[in-house]
Amino acid sequence: MVNNIDDLISLSKRRGFIFPGSEIYGGLANSWDYGPLGVELKNNIKREWWKLFVQMRTDVVGLDAALIMNPKVWTASGHLENFTDPLIECKKCHERYRSDIVDATKPCQKCGGKQTFTSPTTFNLMLKTFLGPTEESANVVYFRPETAQSMFVDFKQIVQSSRQRIPFGIAQVGKAFRNEITPGNFIFRTREFEQMEIEYFIQPPKKKSDWEKHFNNWLDEMKQWLKHLGINKKNIHYAEIPDGERAHYSKRTVDIEYKFPFGQKELYGLAYRTDFDLKNHMESSGEDLSYTNPDDPKDKYIPHVIEPTWGVDRSVLAAMCEAYAEEEAPTSEKGETAKRVVMKFPHWLSPVKVAILPLLRKPELIKITKPIVKDLAKYFTVDYDETQSIGRRYRRQDEIGTPYCLTVDFDTIEDKAVTVRDRDTLKQERIPVADIVNYLKNKLKI
């Protein structure tokens, strides 16, 4: 596990996982761009999540809704009134902070001024823009601060078109935007981020245990996901959020926190939203969003909701923190070792599954290697690398977390076999080219 976040930021930039956004113009307030490997890593997380929680379940369906919705949605949901953070400002340098994160009795982090902070005020996190040719109040709209509301607004149409019966869920993966006062800590807190959310609709509970069983089921699902992501349970903490600190819509919230290098912070969340959202949208829109039991037309009610939420970017960050390792590895010199940095991702998560490397940049080896690359690319995400020594190329692949490296050498010309190197054990074995696809499928469990 990485101990210093700067080590991870450096590796991310050097190897093409994550870059500072708009860097040639000086960057922009903690915005980050996912590079070639970062895109693969992020997409692997989203695809795996979708497979596990939508495609492999019969009680969850998907949605991909617009980023900008009718602003009445945010009035009904309570976001325009309640979606706020406490704000303080240094009177000397005018730097702004969240008062629930920064101690106002201590000097300003930017200028060092003492006792210079204003009294806390509320700051709405909604990111506002204008829709249409003129910037008038009638044209004000907001980028969504969460993916949840579209799942409530589209509830009636999804029930009618999918014929789902309660209990069932609606899942969505997508962007959300929050005008954060103090973004920071790499990709942990940004103003533009991605969520993976499920709204799981249940019958109105007659007793506490009725909703708690669904809540606990989803908590177990989230624990299994963390294990699948490669997160050590010793680095996870489950925090019950007390009354007065929960979101305005929640009756119970559990924050799943991870021990990042910069402190223990929220990774995921699980909330019991009751019937707050559907009820408010019914009242505001005048549309009937109640559910009718197909087997009993008299059994009609407003469903309650259990909401498990996963942050995509925070999943990337936690997975990278957990996978990062520095260890001694043998060199080409007998009996000597050197430090290597290796990202020990679970195989399904690795952005590149197989690297194909000719031992030397010789035409006779490249001629054999290229068809192998073309064949393996049908089944796996592959990388071809022919520059520098084989040892340096192995180290590059270690740093990006590639599980297996295939080396084509001069013996390959005669025995039609390649050397396969395992990222974690460093063991090497000789495998016939004709068997390599099945060998890798078995190893990678694809």
| Residue 41 shares a structural domain with residue 158 | yes
Helix (H, G, I), strand (E, B) or coil at 37: helix
The model scores a pTM over 0.85: yes
| Residue 366 shares a structural domain with residue 280 | no
Where among 278, 299, 320 does a domain terminate?
Answer: 320
Q: Across residues 411-421, what is the average pLDDT?
A: 97
Rounded alpha-carbon distances, angstroms, from residue 370 to 331, 355, 432: 27, 12, 16
| Residue 61 shares a structural domain with residue 20 | yes
| Residue 177 shares a structural domain with residue 264 | yes
Any alpha helices (H) in 199-240, and if so which ranges? 208-228
| Residue 168 shares a structural domain with residue 275 | yes
| Residue 294 shares a structural domain with residue 400 | no
Rounded alpha-carbon distances, angstroms, from residue 358 to 204, 405, 406: 63, 10, 8
Confidence band, pLDDT 50/70/90 cuts, at residue 97: confident
Whether residue 98 has pLDDT greater than 80: yes
Range of the domain at 269: 5-71+139-320
> Is 357 within a domain?
yes
| Residue 363 shares a structural domain with residue 275 | no
| Residue 280 shares a structural domain with residue 167 | yes
CB neighbour list of residue 6: distance below 8 Å, 6 or more residues apart: none
| Residue 210 shares a structural domain with residue 297 | yes
| Residue 311 shares a structural domain with residue 370 | no
Q: What is the pLDDT of residues 331-341, one digit of tens each?
A: 777 778 889 99
Here the CATH number for the domain that contains residue 207 is 3.30.930.10
Cβ distance 83 to 179 under 8 Å?
no
For residue 380, give the DSSP letter: S
Where among 320, 338, 367 does a domain terminate?
Answer: 320
| Residue 260 shares a structural domain with residue 190 | yes
Q: What is the pLDDT of residues 278-287, one digit of tens each?
A: 999 999 999 9
Distance CA 109, CA 134 (A): 39
Q: Across residues 128-144, what is the average pLDDT?
A: 91
Give the number of domains in the chain: 2
> Is 345 within a domain?
no
> Is 252 within a domain?
yes
> Is 121 within a domain?
no
Where among 305, 320, 335 does a domain terminate?
Answer: 320
Here the CATH number for the domain that contains residue 394 is 3.40.50.800
> Is 241 within a domain?
yes
| Residue 388 shares a structural domain with residue 309 | no
